[in-house]
Structure formats: structure tokens, C-alpha cells
Structure 1
């Protein structure tokens, strides 16, 4: 199977003229005669751009490669913009597998003889189908005997074998790129494939997705901005996920949103607020917010609420990353490029020996021209991309958590501008970030830290007298040991001096005797 698959990949590679995108001096010697031997596989799409050819080739190779292309579209630090933009059009849509087989998988996972024991009105026809899983609708009979309107997500049978086989071939190709292409080291193809492998393997575990959805729902409990469907965790397994069925308007359906009299300006602003709340308040953000995973509730169109699904990919930031990132944003808003450069060095994102003057000038070159434009015409997400690309020239290490953040921010901004083209992302984001920074470093932050640590201090308070006693006792013992050590050292010094004197006297006596008997 591996040889057959490799032949298929090679054929697709040549038929879409992808070999023509590689400079001849970068290709190994055997490619030229291979082109001659398989002339019937030559480029059949010369009228298309390089980005279109790459996208079509990935679509032909199948769902695993489509997902790889989707991941690559977020790595603008590695790809030219025209290719990255084209990869954004990759659609993760494949033919569904047999609904009866899905039913059998659900019955086996839940250890039931017939699906009607847990679900009624199970629709054998899938509601949606993607590369890794498909979704069916049903009514769940919960433990109290009540019927709940749900969707059941089922992993495709045998998809793990297909993924592992294709990822192995990707690793072979990555090794080829790293070895033969002059830019192979900078592109870090092996690391990129490993990152992709981890992402796609994680998506195969629906228990992980269920846990992510539960956490995100808890973070936005009673929120007017975002609703996350309830997950029935008792009925979730590694290959089956059962969650509340939602009814909403796809966020990309502008006509339906307008027909529902939705306040699009408010909706766009809330999208920005939801993103920054996830990142800076919760340190836990949905990292796959493409339009297919976002809906808008029919209720309260003048105060619209998002509905988020498919939490298979989430991002997290630690406290230091959050602080540095917020300070970077604020310094950028204030056009303090020196501060941006210093923060990149302080955070360890660029080497400590980076020339700050050169780095500051490079950042200024990217950022300063945009301030001459109206804010509504500036793409904040693309400015962030350009900043990352500039930092890369100064050997900035790729930060996986920042790549996910960049991807999500591009999704959010694109979504916001589609909903409300006049969206001013900066105007919405800057007050949020400034307030967040005040909460982190101001008096309120001190109060919150003290309040958070009070239970710990209260637990340790009774132990303080014993700890002080033990410390003083240990100090006294250490002092005594130091005194004994000093006495021993002095005694050893005196002994050495005494031996030296004796040695000198004996030497003098021997010399005197030698002179006498001479």
C-alpha cells in the first residue's frame, strides 16, 4: 500500500506541475530523467497559478493532505502569501460513509445491543461529513428517561490507519526537503510534520474534544456573547461524542443574518471581545474558529449571541506569554517600537544578542506606514503576520502557541470584516487590553493575588512558629558547625606550620653537621 500511495503522490506531484515550482539546482540529478520517462504525467494545469495547483493537488490526494494544507495556510512564516491565501480555500468535505456502519460503531462504543436503547429517531443519513468524522442527529434518552435533541459525532472507521500511512510518507518527503533544499533548515519540515501529526492525532480522540467543549462552556456560562452546546459526557467515548443539537444561522450567511434583523456591528464587535476574553482572561481559546464552526442564535438579534462548535483544537497561553503579548499589542498601538523590540528579546522569542536598534528599525518599517491609513482600512491580523515575518529574519523561534493565536486572530478579523466591513479591530481591542494590563499590574492585581493566596497562607500560618524555630535551630547548628570547621582549619594550619618549622630545623642541622665533618 505504501508503494502504491507513493506512486499516486508522485503522479499528482507531476500532473499539477509542482516540480516546476522547485528551482532546477535544488532538485536531485534523477528528477530530470524521471520527467522524460513519465512525460504523460506532465503539468496538465499550466493555466493555473502556483497556489491553485498546490491546492488542487492536495484536494486530489485526499482528506489527510487537505487538513495538512489547511494547517500550512496558517504558517505564513513559512509560505509566500499567495500560496498561503490560496490554501485558505481548501474545503474539508468528503463523501459520507455508510450510516448503518456509523450506527454499529455507536452501539459498540456504548456497549448496547441496539441503538434504540439510548437513542430514538436516529437519522441514518448524516447531517454533515468531514475527513475525520461525520455527524448524525437523534434524540437521546437520558438516565431520567427524558428525550434530548442531540447530534452524535462518529470517527470514520479505519481513518487512523490512513492518517498514519500518509503521515509516514509526509515524513519521508520532509526528510527529502530538509536534505536537498537549500532553505530546508529554515523551513524545518520535519518539525512541521511532527506538529501536524500531533494536531491530527489529537482530533481523533473525541474525549479530548468533549473536555475542551466542557471547559469552554464553563468559561462562558451565562454569557450573552458566546454559547457552547452541552456535552453529554456519560455517552462520549474515544470515537463517539454526543452533544446538544443547536439551531442557528451560519455566520457566513449574511443574507440570513440580515433577514433575521441581526445587529451586524454588534455581532462583529462581540466576536473580537470573545476572542480577547478567551485569550487573556481564560488562557484557553478555540483555535479552529472558521465559519463552518460558528453560528449565530436566532434569539435577540439586536444583542446577538455566537454559538461555537467543534472544539477539537484549542490553544493555551501561560502567564508570561499573555503578559508579553498584551504589552506587545499596547506598545504597538502606541507606536513604541523600541518597547516591542525589547519585549521580543525579554520573552526569549528572539536571541538575547539581537541588535535592538536594527530590530526596532525593521519593526518600524513594517508598522509605521499603516498609521497613515484610516483604521478601518488596516488589517490587524496581517500586521501581526508581518511582524512575525520580520522577527523571523532576526532568528525568532517559532512559538506554537503564537501560531495558533495568529491563525485564530486571522479567522476572527476576517469574520468581523465580512459581517461589518467598517469594523475597527483596534478600537475594540485596545481598551480591553489596557484594562487587562491594569488588572495584572495595578492595585487590583495585588488585591486579587492576596485574595487568591489567602487560603494557602491561612493553612500555613499555624506552622510559622515551628518553621521559625526550625530555621533558627538550623542556623545555630550551622553556626556551630562553622565554628568547629574554623577550629579544625586553624589546627590543621598550626600543624602544617609546626611541620614546616621542624623540617627547616632538621635541614639546618643536617647542613651544620655536613660542614663540621667536612
Structure 2
């Protein structure tokens, strides 16, 4: 199966003439031979846009590769712009599997007939994607409208086989393509593997959904559906059915007189609130996962679903990003360079002046544009791109952050092209950073750690005495070694003096005789 799948993949790559993505020269002879083996495969009408051909090839390869293309579209540091734009258009809508099979999976997971928990179970899925599909039903106990998400049967072997092949392709690229290691193909596949495996655990998604809902309970900016965790299993999840307008349906939003300016600004606030206030952000905010509650068009809010992929940052990363953005707002490139070095995001022996000059060269032209036209996501991308040139390794959580910011900004500008992220982001970041440095926050942090100190403090005197005993024992041992060394040195000196004396005596005797 592995080799037949490999043959199928190479056939499709050749059919769409994706060899253009590889360098024209300096390939190893073995790699050239492997490509030549597929010389005779079928041809398709050639499209001049390599990005579009790559997108079509991934769609033909199937859902696992579609998800890979979606993730790859966020790595703009590795792809030409036209390729990244095309991959961002990938849709993972795939034909559904049989409703009866979905019903059987649910019954097996819940260990009960479907009628035990649900009425009006619809065998026709509401939506179908690469990893799972969704069916509607009514909760028997409360008559609440719910959706039941079901993982595709036997999806794991397919994913494992394709990921294994992706690693093989990555290894060949790094080994046989000039400067292949710079492309970090293995790193990209590893990020993808982590992401897609998270989507295969619906119990974890249910917990993520509950946590995000709690963070925005009673919020006028974001609504997260209620999850019935007692009915969730690793391959089945039951949650509240929501009613909203897809965010991409701008015509319906306009028809309902939705305040799109407020909506776009709230999208920015939701993002920064998740990242900096809660340190728990939805990292898969593509249009298919966002709806609009337009019940009150003057005061609209977002509805977020599909919380499988979430991001978290360390407090150090949060502070670094906040200071980084604030320094950029103030065009303080010296501060930016110092932050990268002091935070160990680049090597401590990095030339600060060279890093500062590189940051200035890339970022300064951005300020030539009106603030409303400046891409906030592009700023972050540019800063990371420069840092990569100075051997900075971007962590997976930062890649998620970068991707999410591109999504949020793109959706915000789609809703309201005049959106000025800066007027929203800068006050938020400055306020958050000042609050982090405030006496009140420090006192709060101390109170949060008080239970830990209550456990540690009773044992502290004994620990101190133990340390003193060990320290005294160590000092005695060092003193004994020092004394032995002195005695040994004295003996060596005495031997040297005796030897010199005998030599001198021998010389004197020889002269006299």
C-alpha cells in the first residue's frame, strides 16, 4: 500500500507538472532518476499558475493533503506569495460517508441506541470535512437542538501512511535539493503531524471548547457553543447547534444592516484578548469556523466553532511580543534588536547593530503607507523573517499565532476595508504591558503562588540546616584536600631542593678533582 500510494502521489505531481517547484540544476543523480521514472504518466492541460496547479494536485490527493496544504499556506517564509495565496483557497469539503455508518459509530461510542439520547437524528450530514462530519439531532432529555461531530472511520491508518510519505518527501528535499535544509521541510511536516493529530481527539476539542466558552461567557464580542461533555468521546462530540450568518456571506450581512465596522474592530479585540488576557487562542480561525450573530445588527458578535487547534504562549513570549509590537509602533529598532537578544530568541553573540539595521531596512518602508493599509500580520511576519536570518528558530506556537493573525486581519479587512488595526491594537498592548508591570499585578501573582509557599515554608528551616551541614562537610573536605595538596607540594619542594643540592655538590666535587 505504501509504495502504490507513493506511485499515485508522484503520478499526480507529474500530471500537474509540479517539478517546476524544484530547482532546474544541481539535483542529485539519484533524485533525477526517481523523477524520470514517472516520465510516461498522463498529462493535463498546463496552467501557467504553479500555485493553482499545486492546489488542484493537493485536492486530487485527498483530505489529508488538503489539510497539509492549508497549513503550508501559513508558512509564507517558505513559499512564493502566489503559491501561498492559492493554497489558502483550499477547501476541505469532501464527500460524506454513509449516515448509517455514522449512526453506528455514535451508538458504539455511547454504548446505547441513538434513540436513548437523541430524537430526530438526521442521517444526512449537515457538513462533511476531511477529518469528521456533522449530523443534527434533538437532545431527548431537554429538547435542545444539537450537532454531533463524528470522526471518519478508519481515518488514522490513512493519516499515518500519508504522514510517513510526507517525511520521506521532506528527507529527499533536504538531501537532494540545493540548500534543501534551509527549507526545513521536516519541520513543516512535524508541525502538520502535531496539528492533525490534535484534530483526531474530540474529547480534547470538547475541553478546549469549554475552556474558551468560559473565557468569554456573557461576552458581547464572542459566543462559543455549549458542549455536552458527558456525551463526548474520543471519536464523538455533542454540542449546541448555533444559528448564524457565515462570515464570508457579506451580502447577507449588508442586507441585515450589520455594523461591520464594529464587527471588524471586535475581531481584533477578540484576538488580542485571547492571546494576552487568557493566553489561550483559537488557532484555526478560517471562514468556515466563524459565524456572525446578527440578532442585534447594531451590536453583532462572533460565533466560533471547531476548537481542535488552540495556541498558548509562555508569559515570557507574551511580554516579548507586546514589547516588540510597542517598539515597532514607536519605530524603535534598537529596542527590537535588544529584545530578540535578551530574550534568547537569537544567539547572545548576535551582532546587535546588524540585527537593528536589518529590522530597520525591512520595517521602515511599511510606515510609508497610511496606517489603515498597514498589515499587522505582515509586520510580525517581517520581524520573524529577519530574525530567521540570524538563526532564530520559530516555535510551533508562534507559527500558530502568525497564522491566526493573518486570518483575523484578512477577515477584518474583508468586512471593513478601512479597518485600522493599529488604533485598536496599540492601546490594548500598552495597557496590558503596563498592567503586567503594576504593583497590583505583582501582588496578585504573589497571592496566586501563596499556596505553594505554604507548602514550602514549613520545610524550609530543615532544608536550610541540611544545606548548612552539607556545606560544612564540603568545606571540611575541601580543607583536607587543600592540606594534603600543601603537604604533597612541600614534599615535592624538598625533593627538588635535595636533587638540586646533589647536582651542585657533584659539580663542585668534579671541579675540585
Matched, 1:215 2:211: yes
5 Å matches for 1:132-143? 132-141=131-140
Cα separation, 2, equivalents of 1:32 and 1:120: 55
Deviations 1:340-380 (A, max 9, x none): 11212222222223222222112111211221221111111
| Secondary structure of the corresponding residue to residue 421 of structure 1 | coil
Cα separation, 1, equivalents of 2:16 and 2:391: 33
Cα separation, 2, equivalents of 1:453 and 1:61: 52
Q: CA deviation at 1:467?
A: 6.0
- Given candidates 443, 446, 453, the residue that maps to 2:449 is 453
The 1:469/1:346 distance shift into structure 2, 3 A limit, reads: closer
Deviations 1:254-297 (A, max 9, x none): 22223333221111111111111111111111000011101121
The 1:462/1:370 distance shift into structure 2, 3 A limit, reads: same
Give ranges in structure 1 of 5+ residues lacking alignment: none
Contact 1:438 1:445 in 2 (8 A): no
Matched, 1:25 2:25: yes
Matched, 1:249 2:250: no
Cα separation, 2, equivalents of 1:369 and 1:194: 34
5 Å matches for 1:93-108? 93-108=93-108
Cα separation, 2, equivalents of 1:497 and 1:54: 79
The 1:54/1:494 distance shift into structure 2, 3 A limit, reads: closer
Matched, 1:116 2:115: yes
Cα separation, 2, equivalents of 1:8 and 1:32: 13
Contact 2:221 2:300 in 1 (8 A): yes
Cα separation, 1, equivalents of 2:173 and 2:471: 61
Contact 2:74 2:84 in 1 (8 A): yes
Aligned position for 1:416 = 412
Aligned position for 1:165 = 161
Q: CA deviation at 1:477?
A: 7.0
Cα separation, 2, equivalents of 1:131 and 1:68: 11
Aligned position for 1:399 = 395
Q: CA deviation at 1:450?
A: 2.8
Give ranges in structure 2 of 5+ residues lacking alignment: none
Cα separation, 2, equivalents of 1:260 and 1:102: 36
| Secondary structure of the corresponding residue to residue 121 of structure 2 | coil
The 1:240/1:474 distance shift into structure 2, 3 A limit, reads: same
Over aligned residues, Cα RMSD in angstroms? Answer: 2.9
5 Å matches for 1:211-290? 211-290=207-286
Cα separation, 2, equivalents of 1:146 and 1:32: 60
Matched, 1:389 2:385: yes
Q: CA deviation at 1:22?
A: 2.2
Aligned position for 2:3 = 3
Deviations 1:129-164 (A, max 9, x none): 0011000011123xxx32321110000111111111
Aligned position for 1:297 = 293
Matched, 1:322 2:288: no
Cα separation, 1, equivalents of 2:282 and 2:298: 25
Q: CA deviation at 1:464?
A: 5.9
Cα separation, 2, equivalents of 1:173 and 1:208: 30
Q: CA deviation at 1:253?
A: 1.4
Contact 1:359 1:394 in 2 (8 A): yes
Cα separation, 2, equivalents of 1:498 and 1:462: 54
TM-score w.r.t. length of structure 2? 0.90
Cα separation, 2, equivalents of 1:403 and 1:228: 24
Cα separation, 2, equivalents of 1:191 and 1:281: 30
Cα separation, 2, equivalents of 1:372 and 1:494: 74
Contact 1:317 1:401 in 2 (8 A): yes
Aligned position for 1:331 = 327
5 Å matches for 1:353-502? 353-458=349-454, 460=456
| Secondary structure of the corresponding residue to residue 175 of structure 1 | helix
Deviations 1:446-493 (A, max 9, x none): 222233233444555556666666666777777777778888888x57
Contact 2:326 2:429 in 1 (8 A): yes
The 1:409/1:499 distance shift into structure 2, 3 A limit, reads: same
Q: CA deviation at 1:50?
A: 0.8
User: Which has the larger displacement, 118-127 or 481-490?
Assistant: 481-490
5 Å matches for 1:16-165? 16-27=16-27, 28-30=31-33, 33-34=36-37, 37-38=39-40, 41-42=42-43, 44-112=44-112, 114-141=113-140, 145-165=141-161
Q: CA deviation at 1:435?
A: 0.8
Q: CA deviation at 1:6?
A: 2.0
Deviations 1:79-128 (A, max 9, x none): 1111111110011110111000000000011111x210111110111000
TM-score w.r.t. length of structure 1? 0.89
| Secondary structure of the corresponding residue to residue 449 of structure 2 | helix
